[in-house]
Amino acid sequence: MSSASTTAQTLPDGVVTLADHEFHARGLLDEAVWAYFNGGAADELTLRANAQAWQTIELLPRVMRQLSGGHTRVNLLGREWPHPILVAPMAYQRLAHPHAEQATALAAAALGAGLVLSTQASTLLEDVARTVLPEPDRGPLWFQLYLLPDRGFMKTLVQRAEAAGFDALVLTVDAPVQGARDRERRAGFRRPADITAVNLVGRVAPSPLSLRPGQSRLFDDLMTHAPTWDDIAWLRSITRLPVLLKGVVHPLDARQALSCGAAGVIVSNHGGRTLDTMPATATLLPRVMQAVAGDAPVLVDGGIRRGTDVLKAMALGASAVLVGRPVLHGLANAGATGVAHVLRLLRDELEISMALTGCRTLSHAAATLSHA
């Protein structure tokens, strides 16, 4: 589908916040699909904590400051971008809307937002790149990976991303196995046969091992293929693109990532979908910032629902933020129009928050926190 064929849709009446988008999308999506997109692991404590943690951080305004000429621009991986908001990698967006990742890409490019395309996208990566790259005011275009055992296929996939024009690779490192997603299982989610990870067609999955009595299918089979730090060197050896690691939450892992040549790290608990009872990302971010000590960009996702949350993340030292589920809600509500509205709301609220705290540029964001 080309961008020209993305028919504009109208937003539902009364949608003026990201919470409104979530409310309306809830009535549009199948119960099982809703559970897949919005559910978390186990008791969903981390899922809820992510949003709550941003809400508890307080802003302290300064008044009567000279703010003319202020802006939201940021520098990331050697380039200047319009603002620090990126769309997080999310799989199978065709479950939310027929135009899927193509609609999300169109909206992100038009709004100057970055886009991290999931390796499990339901749209070809080349089609997404052709939508984003012509936009002169676009944000970053990154491709997310899981390290698969089929190294030949992985190399080809990385080469495809390079040839298509992606700016960087994002390696997800915090999900060697899927979390215990109870809500998803209760709802009986099954991915429809006609919605597939089209960019992974042709990969060869390893055959299950024959286990002896008492052996674990997880530890003695599946985890034998799980990536390790040594694999980062291999990935960097096959690409000219910078590699960021997503899912780094421990300070020692952050330092290890940089020693392995990572161009940056993304503080993420996978939206509360993997290990429940993890701390919120707003709590984890300062620890990682201290460990990285300015040697590389640190991004953060998880629970960001307001422009004030974006400002708080930047105040804590983040280089940019990623937003996930609200984008899916906007997509379900009105395709590209809905996604654009979500991104526009976040940027507008960010600018309002900056103006009301006396913050002219995001390089001064730290002074907006009440404990600064």
| Paired strand residues for 74 | 81
Spatial separation of the C-alpha atoms in residues 83 and 247, rounded to whole Å? 22
List, as one string, the DSSP characters of 28-68.
TS-HHHHHHHH--STT-HHHHHHHHHHHHS-B----S---T
8 Å CB contact between 201 and 119 = no
CA angle 366, 367, 371 (to 5 degrees): 90
Spatial separation of the C-alpha atoms in residues 199 and 110, rounded to whole Å? 24
Give the dihedral sign, CA 8/12/16/18: negative
Give the dihedral sign, CA 108/109/114/120: positive
Helix (H, G, I), strand (E, B), or coil: what is residue 246?
A: strand
Q: CA torsion angle for 25, 26, 29, 35 (degrees, to 10)?
A: 130
Helix (H, G, I), strand (E, B), or coil: what is residue 147?
A: coil
Read off the tokens for 224: 């034998």
- Active-site residue, from 21, 24, 99, 270: 270
Amino acid at 11: L
Q: Verify whether residue 270 is a known catalytic residue.
A: yes
Catalytic residues, which ones?
A: 270
